[in-house]
Amino acid sequence: MSVNTTRTRTLIAAVATAVLAVGGLTACGTDDEPTKESKPSSSEEKTGGDTKDEDTKGEEKSDESGAYSAGDTAVYDSGLKITVSAAEGYTPDEYAVGHTEGNKAHQVTVTLENTGDENVSADLITVSARAGEDGVDAEEIFDNTVGSGFSGELLPGKKATAVYAFDAPADAKILDLEVELIDFTTAPAQWSLQL
């Protein structure tokens, strides 16, 4: 991906953010907070029953910090579901932008699913990351394989998948990933991924 393409994407995101800021300020304070989609345990699958209390079903986070783990799905009241895979090693191509020699590149797959009744603007999905115990910004990598992200409208009942790669210090053991729909009503969801 060329530097001009990266600049164009950044400009489009800035314009979209400005338009939403003008029209969306009245919606501030009405965050749609994500909850974790419950996955049946092996005993629930065998008996067909639910061993959890109905009041806590689907509302727990994966760790003490509140971050989800690899493979967990963040579910919003709007019907949007976001799933992030485990981080895997990645080898940027020779023309990659965002990779620093001596650092390690890691890729993740982000899947969106629209189970709601209205379209979701996938153009407004942003994915960012921090690496290591100090939480340094992990720069996104752009090359011929990764970095295009999401685009267009996600219709009800449809899924969209994109692969992202991030540059992290070689000694980093954790990649903290944040996925956000920039609509001023949807709270971001965060995953803590082992490297």
Q: Is the pLDDT of residue 57 over 60?
A: no
Stretch 93-100: mean pLDDT: 93
Alpha-carbon separation of residue 44 from 3, 17, 39, 179, 184 (angstroms) = 50, 44, 9, 30, 37
pTM of the full structure: 0.74
Q: Count the neighbouring beta carbons within 10 Å of the beta carbon of residue 178.
A: 15
What is the residue type of 173? Answer: K
Stretch 168-186: mean pLDDT: 93
Q: C-alpha angle with apex 45: 41 to 51, nearest 5 degrees?
A: 55
Query: Alpha carbon 3 to chain centroid distance?
Result: 23
Question: Could you tell me if 57 and 49 are in contact, meaning their C-beta atoms sit under 8 angstroms apart?
Answer: no
What pLDDT was estimated at residue 25? 40
* Mean pLDDT lowest among 23-32, 92-101, 133-142: 23-32
